[in-house]
């Protein structure tokens, strides 16, 4: 019996990966050029933009990035004085990270740029398609997390 062939053009994980890479690459170039931020750095900055301080462990969970990537991005942001690190009261090895005033100003400049990028990308789909896509992505994420 012949083995089935895998058609990557119709293989959902592959197509999601390609789409994600294309979108992330486009955003990365824009944020690097405009704000001097790499993708992991702007993701941390954006998560911290809600005004809550977070530990690196919380940032790993919120961004779905690995701890080495989060640590490297946090160090870069701290070196640029965009985030401040404060020792965790209960765990001496952990720190709370939060935006500095400079980081807050940068975040406030990023928000309109991010929303404009999103609007440009979404112009290729209808509002109903966007709503369906968001529902489908949520279902696929849940399925992936629950069925490891």
Q: What is the pLDDT of residues 28-54, one digit of tens each?
A: 888 899 999 999 999 999 999 999 999
Contacts of 46 (CB under 8 A, 6+ apart): 107, 110, 114
Averaged pLDDT, 60-86:
94
Query: Rounded to an integer, what distance in angstroms lies between the CA atom of residue 96 and that of residue 55?
Result: 5
Task: Write out pLDDT tens, residues 8-34.
Answer: 989 999 999 999 999 888 888 888 999
Structural fold of domain 29-146 = Arc Repressor Mutant, subunit A (1.10.10)
Q: Structural domain boundaries of the chain?
A: 29-146
The answer, yes or no, to whether residue 148 has pLDDT greater than 70, is: no
Q: How many residues does the chain have?
A: 148
37 exposed, middle or buried (CB, 10 Å; 0-12, 13-18, 19+)? buried
Global pTM? 0.80
Task: Write out pLDDT tens, residues 97-128.
Answer: 999 999 999 999 999 988 998 899 999 999 99
**Three-state secondary structure call for residue 51:** coil
């Amino acid at each position: 019996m012949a083995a089935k062939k895998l058609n990557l053009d119709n293989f959902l994980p592959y197509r999601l990966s390609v789409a994600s890479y294309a979108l992330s690459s486009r955003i990365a170039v824009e944020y690097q050029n405009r704000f001097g931020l790499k993708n992991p750095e702007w993701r941390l900055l954006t998560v911290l933009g809600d005004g809550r301080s977070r530990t690196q462990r919380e940032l790993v969970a919120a961004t779905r990035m690995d701890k080495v990537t989060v640590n490297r991005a946090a160090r870069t942001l701290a070196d640029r004085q965009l985030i401040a690190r404060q020792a965790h009261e209960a765990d001496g090895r952990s720190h709370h990270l939060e935006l500095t005033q400079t980081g807050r100003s940068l975040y406030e400049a990023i928000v309109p740029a991010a929303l404009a990028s999103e609007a440009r990308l979404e112009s290729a789909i209808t509002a109903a398609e966007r709503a369906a896509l968001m529902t489908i992505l949520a279902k696929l994420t849940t399925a992936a997390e629950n069925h490891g």
